[in-house]
Amino acid sequence: MGERVRYPDHEARHPWLERLLNAYQLCDEAVRADLAEQTTRRGVAIACGPGCRNCCIDQVIPVSEFEVLGLWWYASEILEGPVQEELKQRLLGYGEVGECAFLVDGRCCVYPLRPFVCRQYYVFSTPCAPGENVFDTRLNDAFCAGQSCARDLAWQLIPLYGVAEENVDWLYESGYVSRKGKHLHTLPLDNIVMHMKTATHLRKARNA
Ligand code: SF4
Ligand code: SF4
């Protein structure tokens, strides 16, 4: 079982972060179990692997508010150096479906905080060709893993919207979280750049 990533100081400062990281861990565990089962059942290996990134290009990425907040936090408070500088340039010119803004030098620069859809989408057999939508070209090779943990994820995330526990189950069943979803490329991601500057300033002040 993979270890949950931990950022104790940040989680203490941002209570939502602890729940988001718990949710990502639950999702990753469910994905791993599904992939092991599917690989055995199909007798075919997963095509996804390091360096494979066509799924980060020309795809609409649905995200909820707290997934966006996670990207925002990681990009401004954890990333640093040349990767953060490159990301700044990408965020300032962003706004179209094209290469995901967070794909820096061919790698996901926010990997520990990548959204759910980026954790759950897999392809079997052969890697996606550039521009290929596997749902159109070979539906049987596409696999959305980790669906069984959706209710557990709801229990981590729905209370973050100020919802009382007795309402979590029925709101989950009514599609509450997906109704709050947005498409990543439509969001004002350039605002993250301003927050990067504030975060750098605060970090320097804390370390002074
Ligand atoms: S979904 Fe397609 S492009 Fe993305 S990692 Fe898997 S095989 Fe590669
Ligand atoms: S967030 Fe990362 S994994 Fe998801 S589309 Fe962007 S670069 Fe790819």
Q: Is residue 98 part of a domain?
A: yes
Binning the chain into helix, strand and coil, the percentages to the nearest 5 are 60, 10, 30
In whole angstroms, how far apart are CA 53 and each of 3, 40, 48, 72, 201? 24, 24, 9, 21, 33
- Let me know if residue 2 belongs to a domain: no
- Is residue 63 predicted with pLDDT exceeding 70? yes
Ligand 1, pocket-test mutation among 38, 48, 59, 99, most atoms within 8 A of CB: 48
Verify whether ligand 1 is closer than 6 Å to residue 39 (CB atom): no
Per-residue pLDDT of 169-187, as tens digits, reads 999 999 888 888 899 988 9
Residues spanned by the domain of 201: 8-207
pLDDT at 1 over 80: no
AA identity, residue 145: A
* 180-to-76, 146, 171 alpha-carbon distances in Å: 24, 20, 12
pLDDT, position 167: 95
Contact 178, 157 (CB under 8 A): no
**What's this model's pTM, rounded to 2 decimal places?**
0.93
pLDDT at 93 > cutoff 80: no
Examine the pLDDT at 96 and tell me if it is beyond 70: no
In a domain, 197, yes or no: yes
Asked whether residue 168 is domain-assigned, the answer is yes
Say if 3 falls within a structural domain. Answer: no
Report which bound ligand comes closest to the CA of 130.
1
Task: Looking at the CA of residue 110, tell me the nearest atom of ligand 2.
Answer: 2
Q: How many domains does the chain have?
A: 1
Instruction: Tell me if 88 sits within 8 A of 195, measured CB to CB.
Output: no
Alpha-helix residue ranges (DSSP H) falling in 93-188: 116-120, 134-137, 150-157, 168-173, 176-179
Judge whether 57 lies within some domain.
yes
Looking at the CA of residue 101, tell me the nearest atom of ligand 2. Answer: 6
109 lines ligand 2 (CB under 6 A): no
Provide the phi-psi class of 181: left if phi over 0, else alpha when psi is between -120 and 50, else beta: beta
Backbone angles phi, psi at 114, to 5 degrees: -60, 150
Ligand 1 midpoint to CA 162 (Å): 36
- Predicted confidence band at 198 (pLDDT cuts at 50, 70, 90)? confident
Contact 71, 17 (CB under 8 A): no
Query: What are the start-end ranges of the H helices in the chain?
Result: 8-13, 15-42, 65-73, 81-92, 116-120, 134-137, 150-157, 168-173, 176-179, 191-207
- Specify if 1 maps to a domain: no
Residue 201: pLDDT band (50, 70, 90) is confident
